[in-house]
């Protein structure tokens, strides 16, 4: 999945605070794992609850990327 690709990429070149990016990347991975679990076995309510952390973490990672 695209989420797995983001995790596999790790910290891209040009990120100013690599430690913060690594920490957020871990949060993204944890949120993604919970979302996958809820998608496979959870209720609609659980899925709706586990999606926002994935989205928010992704947005945080995107904001940390170097601007072109």
pLDDT digits (tens, 9 = 90+) for 5-59: 999 999 999 999 999 999 999 999 999 999 999 999 999 999 999 999 999 999 9
DSSP H or E run through 57: helix 44-64
Backbone angles phi, psi at 65, to 5 degrees: -70, 150
pLDDT for 1 equals 83
* C-alpha span between 6 and 58 (Å, rounded): 9
Residue located via tokens 């794992």: 33
Q: What is the mean pLDDT of the chain?
A: 95
pTM: 0.90
């Amino acid at each position: 999945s695209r989420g797995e690709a983001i995790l596999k990429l790790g910290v891209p070149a040009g990120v100013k605070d690599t430690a913060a990016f690594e920490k957020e990347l871990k949060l993204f991975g944890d949120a993604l794992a919970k979302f996958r679990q809820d998608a496979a076995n959870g209720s609609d309510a659980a899925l709706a609850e586990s999606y926002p952390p994935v989205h928010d973490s992704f947005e945080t990672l995107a904001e940390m990327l170097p601007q072109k």
